[in-house]
């Protein structure tokens, strides 16, 4: 595995792969890698033989008072995992390599970027789209793989790719969970033992919502009752959106929906979602 920091070194490694006729699959991450991330890398491998992974904690997608400074950073441990998976290039740029002294939003997420996660984290998705576009410009992949765990992020990236990067195929990989049902997240390390067992109730609430999906209202109510009963937790939102538009659905909706929730357990904000067909 080649580890590169500067964009020029990255471009050289990618140009060499292209000259060998290889397609490029790209997995952007913020590091502190867990099995969820690794599943995306395995998916990348299935798609093509040249895999690029980036690790970059993007300041532009963190709000004031969020966990930018304490976000887990463990690049050496991550590097060993990536080596074992046969990743070809690990790209670990500095803030300056990515933003070149100009940390400004260059991509706007629009209306869907302002609901749900975007309502709680103002500007978050503008920051996400800005960094993803800069990484796409640098890597110019054929495939980019993202996790269904961050469903709103995936939706917005798909929209951006459709408009601005039609040659990049966006691939979505399923949510990887612990045996308890808790969706894996780099932020799970913040949870105490007690908080961790409380957090396992989030996915159970979503499953209860799905089981009660005779109607939109019944599904929401079943999930919400359980989410509100989680100890040491504060419900951010529970919502059902049309999977194709991300617009909230009303009672009577028929089709593919996504039920999404954000819950703050202790001081840790966790998100999860589940597919529901009405
Ligand atoms: P992050 O490092 O949190 O920015 O995540 C990098 C990528 O890994 C994103 O596409 C996430 O959606 C994906 N990811 C994070 N957690 C999971 C999970 N539990 N299952 C599947 N993908 C995940």
Domain locations along the chain: 2-173, 186-271
Nearest CA to ligand 1 atom 7: 29
What's the pLDDT tens digit per position in 147-195?
999 999 999 999 999 999 999 999 999 999 999 999 999 999 999 999 9
Question: What is the 277 CA–ligand 1 centroid distance (Å)?
Answer: 24
Atom of ligand 1 nearest to the CA of 175: 20
Residue 24 pLDDT = 98
Tokens 């194709």 -> residue: 244
CA distances 216 to 161, 179, 233, 238, 259, Å, are 30, 28, 24, 12, 10
Q: Which of 34, 37, 111, 196 is catalytic?
A: 37
Global pTM value: 0.97
Atom of ligand 1 nearest to the CA of 31: 2
49: which 2 tokens? 């033989």
- CATH fold of 186-271 reads 3.30.1300
Report how far residue 234's alpha carbon sits from residue 205's, in angstroms, rounded to the nearest whole number. Answer: 14
Quickly count: other Cβ atoms within 10 Å of residue 142's Cβ. Answer: 17
Nearest CA to ligand 1 atom 13: 147
Instruction: Tell me whether residue 37 is one of the annotated catalytic residues.
Output: yes
Question: What is the 192 CA–ligand 1 centroid distance (Å)?
Answer: 21
What's the pLDDT tens digit per position in 81-123?
999 999 999 999 999 999 999 999 999 999 999 999 999 999 9
Query: Which CATH number is 2-173 given?
Result: 3.40.50.620
Question: What is the 171 CA–ligand 1 centroid distance (Å)?
Answer: 13
Report how far residue 210's alpha carbon sits from residue 103's, in angstroms, rounded to the nearest whole number. Answer: 41
Quickly count: other Cβ atoms within 10 Å of residue 180's Cβ. Answer: 12
Q: Give the three-class secondary structure for 212.
A: coil
Average pLDDT over residues 218-240: 98
Q: Nearest to residue 55, comparing CAs of 79, 38, 34, 36?
A: 79
Question: What is the 218 CA–ligand 1 centroid distance (Å)?
Answer: 29
Average pLDDT over residues 44-55: 97
């Amino acid at each position: 595995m080649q580890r590169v920091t500067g964009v020029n070194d990255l471009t050289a490694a990618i140009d060499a792969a292209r000259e060998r006729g290889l397609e490029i699959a790209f997995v952007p991450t913020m590091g502190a890698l867990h099995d969820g991330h690794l599943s995306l890398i395995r998916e990348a491998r299935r798609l093509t033989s040249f895999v690029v992974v980036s690790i970059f904690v993007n300041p532009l997608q963190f709000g004031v008072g969020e966990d930018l400074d304490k976000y887990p950073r463990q690049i050496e441990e991550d590097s060993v995992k990536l080596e074992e998976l046969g990743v070809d290039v690990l790209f670990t740029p500095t803030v300056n390599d990515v933003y070149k002294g100009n940390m400004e939003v260059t991509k706007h997420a629009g209306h869907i970027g302002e609901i749900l996660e975007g309502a709680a984290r103002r500007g978050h998705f503008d920051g996400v789209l800005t960094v993803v576009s800069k990484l796409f410009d640098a890597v110019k992949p054929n495939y980019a793989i993202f996790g269904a765990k961050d469903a709103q992020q995936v939706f917005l990236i798909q929209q951006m790719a459709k408009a601005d990067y039609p040659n990049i195929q966006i691939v979505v990989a399923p949510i990887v969970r612990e045996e308890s049902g808790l969706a894996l997240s780099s932020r799970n390390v913040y949870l105490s033992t007690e908080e961790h067992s409380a957090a396992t109730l989030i996915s159970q609430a979503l499953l209860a919502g799905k089981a009660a999906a005779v109607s939109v209202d019944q599904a929401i109510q079943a999930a919400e009752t359980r989410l509100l009963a989680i100890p040491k937790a504060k419900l951010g939102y529970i919502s059902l959106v049309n999977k194709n538009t991300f617009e909230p659905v009303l009672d009577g909706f028929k089709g593919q929906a996504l039920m999404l929730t954000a819950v703050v357990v202790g001081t840790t904000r966790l998100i999860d979602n589940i597919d529901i067909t009405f």
